[in-house]
Structure 1
Amino acid sequence: MNITVFALLLVGLVLLVVGAEALVRGASRIAAVLGISPLVIGLTIVAYGTSSPELAVNIQSSLAGQSDIAIGNVVGSNIFNVLFILGVSALVSPLLVAQQLIRLDVPIMIGVSCLMLLFSLDGNIGTSDGVILFLGAVSYTAFLIYQSRQEKDAAVQDEYAKEYGAQPTRSLSTWLVNLALVVGGLGLLLAGSRLLVDSAIVIAQAIGVSELVIGLTIVAAGTSLPELATSVIASMRGERDIAVGNVVGSNIFNILAIIGLSSIISPDGIPVLPAALRFDIPIMIAVAIACLPIFFTGNLISRREGIFFLAYYGVYTLYLILRSTEHDALPIFSTVMLAFVLPLTAITLAIVTMRALRKRRERREGL
């Protein structure tokens, strides 16, 4: 392996990010011209568009028979989205969390994560499982569109209108430019996904780690760069609902649409390695569940909680490195995590949630 492989990996990542940006920009402008509301554009076109690199990589991996990269990409992206992207965004500015996210979208994210685990128990996410997941994506999208039309919170409406409400002209040149962005973005995504998958396979073979680990780390972080950019920029601008909603919506889309389509396209479905079944998918579910009490306490992701998220992503990445290299420190590290860190975290989250519930009950009784 030489420097050329890493260069191709970097080029692939750049093409994915640029392609996603072009696709989102062109599609959102076309939607605005057609009179689609800014809230619908933000919740669907933008949230799903930022997941287009994951979709491109998974389709390429499935067609190439590299199912470990496909599974690792989605599971790793979902973990990265919550722990790293929300962690960084909260450090930029504490994130307010809308009630709809707490009551509906986060429970849906937890539910579809558990559904993925259920479908994986036999070691394979088959075609019929993929159809169910993809139909779930269609239903969820329809629900988002319906829900957006019922949105009464003026602050949420204004936030999305400010970001996605610009009305471009309806001239022929505008249509052509936006269509060119969509088509060009798709082309870049296809080219970038091929380069990324091929170079990732070579790197995995050269350094002696599994394709699953490469998918969970390099590929997952790389394909999540559009979500990172969208959420951090939204946080900097004070558009906190967009910052959080983009992550939750992308995680749901990753499982329902991307895993669904990947398993439909792959002739034999997507095999799931025991390592992913025992550890990585449960971690993805645990991360989704951890969002609920953190989001629930004060409807805010504070800077302290952002640091908490980032620290856990660092611990998770360190575990993957130790596991892939079969390092001598792995047994001790695993024992400390299982016996002390994870139980302490669960107890802390439970105490914080109970305190928040008690305060809410006291406020209601005081009214």
Structure 2
Amino acid sequence: MNVWLWIGVLILAAWAAHWGADQLLTPLKMLRKQWGLTASAGAAFLAIVTASPEVAINITSAARGVSDIGLGNLLGSNIISIPLMVTIAYFASRKKFKNNKEHQKHLDANLLALNKRSVAVLSIPYLVIIALVAILTLPKAWRGLQPIDGWIMLAAYAAFLTHAIIKGREKGENVEWDKKKVWLSVAGAMAIALGAFFIVKATENIVSVLNISEIVGGLFITGIMTTAPEIFKTWSVVKGGEVTAGTTSVIADNAVTMTIAFFPLALVTTPIEDFQLFWVNLAFVGLMPLLYSLFVHQSKELHGFSKCQIFVFDAAYIVYLLTMVFFVLKLF
């Protein structure tokens, strides 16, 4: 198969994996209502499913002996996701919502509305997770992803989820379970597994044809493709009036990627072959939620991101690309 056919397989597999995640999301949304979780706490809970394609990809890459694809996917998706989803959410929120005076205030001030609680519930704990990954993987004596690191990161996600639920618990609702949706969830789980296999298989073949390293393929092929379908979900959720949920879910997804998706790569022991590439990417993984936290903290009465701050997110990603092209990969 030539490279264009594998690109087609990659796109179809990515959509299949995210379709599967959408089907699995329904029962978890019902549990969120039943347990009375707020938007921020619910995002942390629902991320178990919304980030499942990334987790499945890393399980597949570890099983197939191409862990560098999974490592690149882990880093690449976490770098692009925040600037991309925040930008999409900003444009999707530029409309009036009926009977929502608070949103109208944000619209008049040209801000992307955001609940300040999301910093304490999601972004600061996510920064702690990134710092923990750095401590476990960067020192020379501990360099690389090892089984003990994986168990530590699983414990870190358990703490992250527990913290989010405790911080964001309200009175629950009665919900009715639909058998059809439950069966669709089963089909969704199968689609995620199948999609993940073909995403990894397609990436293997594309990097082979293009003669690039597996980790670079994971960064710029797998990582971007697994994030792309989230554009439409974020747009839809925010356009529907759930601005905070649509904007904060990306933080929760990234926390799952850096912990649960970290586990299979650590379990098979993934060495860091290119240390400069790894630490530069990890630095930008940390920069994005740091900007997120600082900007929300700076907001006064109306919490959220200004147009200028949205531009800074996008500019940070452009700086990342330039750093990779000219200083890390040295393509020019």
Answer yes or no: is the 8 Å Cα contact 1:51–1:227 preserved in 2. no
- Corresponding position of 1:271: 271
Instruction: Please tell me the residue identity of whatever aligns with 1:70.
Output: G
Percentage of pairs with the same residue: 20
- Corresponding position of 1:4: 5
- Corresponding position of 1:294: 295
- Corresponding position of 1:336: none
1:309-332 CA distance string (max 9 Å, x none): 22332342354455687432xxxx
- Which of 1 and 2 has greater Rg? 1
Instruction: Please tell me the residue identity of whatever aligns with 1:283.
Output: F
Instruction: Please tell me the residue identity of whatever aligns with 2:283.
Output: P
Residue 247 (str. 1) matches residue 250 (str. 2): yes
1:102-121 CA distance string (max 9 Å, x none): 23422211111111111112
- Corresponding position of 2:185: 182
Distance 1:109 1:271 in 2: 24
Distance 1:27 1:106 in 2: 22
The DSSP-based 3-state class of the residue aligned with 1:112 is: helix
Answer yes or no: is the 8 Å Cα contact 2:144–2:272 preserved in 1. yes
Task: Decide which structure has greater helix share.
Answer: 1
- Corresponding position of 1:363: none
Answer yes or no: is the 8 Å Cα contact 1:213–1:324 preserved in 2. no
1:67-97 CA distance string (max 9 Å, x none): 2111111111111121211122123333223
- Corresponding position of 1:306: 310
Displacement of 1:240 after TM fit? 2.0
- Corresponding position of 1:337: none
- Corresponding position of 2:135: 118
Instruction: Please tell me the residue identity of whatever aligns with 2:155.
Output: L
Instruction: Please tell me the residue identity of whatever aligns with 2:136.
Output: F
1:274-307 CA distance string (max 9 Å, x none): 1333311111112222222212121311222222
Answer yes or no: is the 8 Å Cα contact 1:106–1:288 preserved in 2. yes
Distance 1:60 1:285 in 2: 26
* Number of residue-to-residue matches in the alignment: 306
Distance 1:317 1:55 in 2: 24
Displacement of 1:8 after TM fit? 1.2
Structure 1 residues 98 and 120: alpha-carbon distance in aligned structure 2, compared to 1, 3 A threshold: same
Displacement of 1:168 after TM fit? 5.5
TM-score w.r.t. length of structure 1: 0.76
Distance 1:282 1:38 in 2: 32
Q: How does 1:332-347 map to 2 (within 5 A)?
A: none
The correspondence for 1:136, drawn from 148, 151, 156, is 156
List alignment gaps of at least 5 residues for structure 2.
94-110
TM-score w.r.t. length of structure 2: 0.83
Answer yes or no: is the 8 Å Cα contact 1:20–1:52 preserved in 2. yes
List alignment gaps of at least 5 residues for structure 1.
152-156, 329-367
Answer yes or no: is the 8 Å Cα contact 1:53–1:224 preserved in 2. no
Distance 1:16 1:297 in 2: 37
- Corresponding position of 1:84: 84
1:233-284 CA distance string (max 9 Å, x none): 23223322212320111121211222134423x2xx2222313333111111
- Corresponding position of 1:355: none
Instruction: Please tell me the residue identity of whatever aligns with 2:321.
Output: T
Instruction: Please tell me the residue identity of whatever aligns with 1:305.
Output: Q
Residue range with higher mean Cα deviation, 200-209 or 252-261: 252-261
